[in-house]
Amino acid sequence: MDIVDPWGSSIIDYDKLTKQFGIKAFKDVLDDIPSPSKLMTRGIIFGQRDYDKIAKALNDNKEFATVTGMMPSGRMHIGHKMVVDQLKWYQKMGSDIYLSIADMESYAARGITKEQSRRLALEEYIVNYIALGLDVDDEKFHIYLQSENDEVKNLAYTIGKKVTFSQMRSIYGFDNSTNISHIYTPLVQVADILHPQLEEYGGPRPVVVPVGPDQDPHIRLTRDLAAKFYDEYGFIEPSATFHRFMTGLTGEKMSSSKPKTAIYLTDTVKEATKKVNSAKTGGRDSLKEQKELGGRPDECSVYELLVYHLIDDDKQLEDIKNKCINGEILCGNCKQCANKHLTTMFEKLEDKRSQAMEIAKNLLTNE
Ligand code: SF4
C-alpha cells in the first residue's frame, strides 16, 4: 500500500489519488451546492468524501461544522489563503467554524515549543486570516491551541483505545525511530475533528474538513474511529473536501521552506511582484514560437495565480486562457495583469494586518 505522507511529500497525481484512495470527484456534488464558491466551480477543490451530508445540511438550513487546523511551522504563503477562502465561504453559509492550532503536533513532529507555536500562529497566521476577511468575532467561530483544550486531549486518549500501533504504522509510515508523541498526534487531530460533535459542543451533526490530499490519512482514520465510537458518542462520520496544491513559482510545489517557490503574504509589494516577474510560465522559448504555437496555461504558475486568487470574473479568465493558447498574448502581459491585482491585494492586506494584530492577540489570551 502506498503511503500518503502528511508531513512531507508533494502529491500532484490527483487522478491516481482519487482512484487509489477512493476520494470521489467534487464535480459529482457540485450541482447540489447552493452558491458554490469559485474554488469549487473552478475545480480547485477536486475531491470529496461524503459531501452529500454537507450539501443536505446547506440545502435544509441545518447545523453543521467546519473544522480546520494550522500547524505553525513557517511563513504563510499565498497557497495557504485557499483554506481561509474556504472558511470564509462556510462562515457565510452559516457553519460553525473550529480552528485548531496544532501546537502538540508542531512540538512532536518539528520540535517547536508551545510558546513558539502560539507566537507563530498569532503573528504569521491568525493576523493574516483576519486581514483576509475571516470573521473571528462571529459567535460560531472557535479557536484553540490543542495543548490547552482538555476535551480534545481527553477524547484523543479515549479513541486511542481502538487504534493499534500496527494501524498507525501502515497509515503514516511510522517506524522504530518515530517518537511516541509524534505517533500520538494523529489522535489529537482526530479529536480536533470529532470534538464539535460532543454534547458540550452541540452534539452530533455533519462536519466538513477542507484539506489538501496529503491529509487524507487523517480523514480516513477519523472516519474509521467515528464509526467505532458511534455507540458511545453518536458521531457522524466527518466529510472532507480536497483541494489542489498551488504550483510554486519555480514549477515545483509551493512551500514555506522554499522561498523561491512561494509568495509570502507578508512579502512587500515590491518583493511579491518581483517574484511574479521571474516566475516559471507555460510560455515558449521565443516570441515567434509563442505566437505560432501558443502558450500552455495549464502548465503556468502565473495563470494559476490568476485562477486561484487574483481574477474573480470567469469570462476574463477564459479570455486570457484562449488568448494564451492562440498565441495572442505574451507572458509579459499576463505578469503585468497578475502584478496589478497582486498589488491591490497586498496593499489592502498590509493595511488590514496593522489593525488585525490587536484582535488576534485577544483571541489567544487565556487570562
Ligand atoms: Fe501563462 Fe500568460 Fe504566458 Fe500563457 S501567456 S503561458 S497564461 S503567462
Based on the structure, what is the number of domains in the chain? 2
* Contact in structure between 47 and 79 (CB atoms under 8 Å): no
Q: Indicate if the pLDDT at residue 215 is higher than 50.
A: yes
Residue 8 has pLDDT above 50, yes or no: no
Looking at 215, 245, 275, which one is the last position of a domain?
245
Please indicate, yes or no, whether residues 101 and 188 belong to a single structural domain of this protein: yes
Residues 75 and 168 in one domain: yes
Q: Are residues 197 and 53 in the same domain?
A: yes
Q: Which single residue is written with the C-alpha cell 470527484?
A: 25
User: Do 227 and 308 fall within a single domain?
Assistant: no
pLDDT in tens, 143-164: 999 999 999 999 999 999 999 9
DSSP 306: I
Same domain, 234 and 314: no
Q: Are residues 34 and 136 in the same domain?
A: yes
| Ligand 1, pocket-test mutation among 303, 316, 339, most atoms within 8 A of CB | 303
C-alpha–C-alpha distance, residues 209 and 65, integer Å: 9
In a domain, 182, yes or no: yes
3-state helix, strand, coil in the chain (%, to 5): 55, 10, 35
Domain-embedded: residue 365: no
Ligand 1 centroid, distance to 77 Cα (angstroms): 22
Q: What is the pLDDT of residue 73?
A: 74
Ligand 1 pocket member 329 (CB < 6 A):
yes
Grid cell digits, residue 145: 491551541
Q: Is the CB of 294 under 6 A from ligand 1?
A: no
Residue 153 lies in a domain: yes
Average pLDDT, the chain: 91
Domain end residue (candidates: 245, 274, 302): 245
Of the pLDDT bands very low, low, confident and very high (cuts 50, 70, 90), residue 12 is low
Q: Is the same domain home to 282 and 231?
A: no
Of 279 and 214, more confident = 279
CA–centroid distance, residue 319 to ligand 1 (Å) = 12
One domain, residues 46 and 142: yes
Domain match, 206 and 278 both: no
Instruction: Answer yes or no: is the C-beta of 281 below 6 A from any ligand 1 atom.
Output: yes
Task: Average the pLDDT over 292-312 and give the result.
Answer: 94
DSSP at 244: P
Least confident of 19-23, 214-218, 324-328: 19-23
163 & 300 share domain: no
Domain that holds residue 270: 259-355
Q: Give the angle 339-278-325 at the CA atoms, nearest 5°.
A: 75
Is pLDDT at 277 greater than 70 in this prediction?
A: yes
What are the tens digits of pLDDT across the range 308-317? Answer: 999 999 999 9
Is the CB of 307 within 6 Å of ligand 1? no
Q: Please report which confidence band the pLDDT of residue 257 belongs to, taking 50, 70 and 90 as the band edges.
A: confident
> Residue 152: what pLDDT?
98
Render pLDDT for 31-42 as a digit per residue (tens, 0 to 9): 999 999 999 999
Same structural domain, 203 and 290: no
Evaluate: CB of 334 within 6 angstroms of ligand 1.
Answer: yes
What cell was used for 221? 482514520
- Name which residue sits closest to atom 3 of ligand 1, judged by CA: 331
Distance 266 CA to ligand 1 centre (A): 26
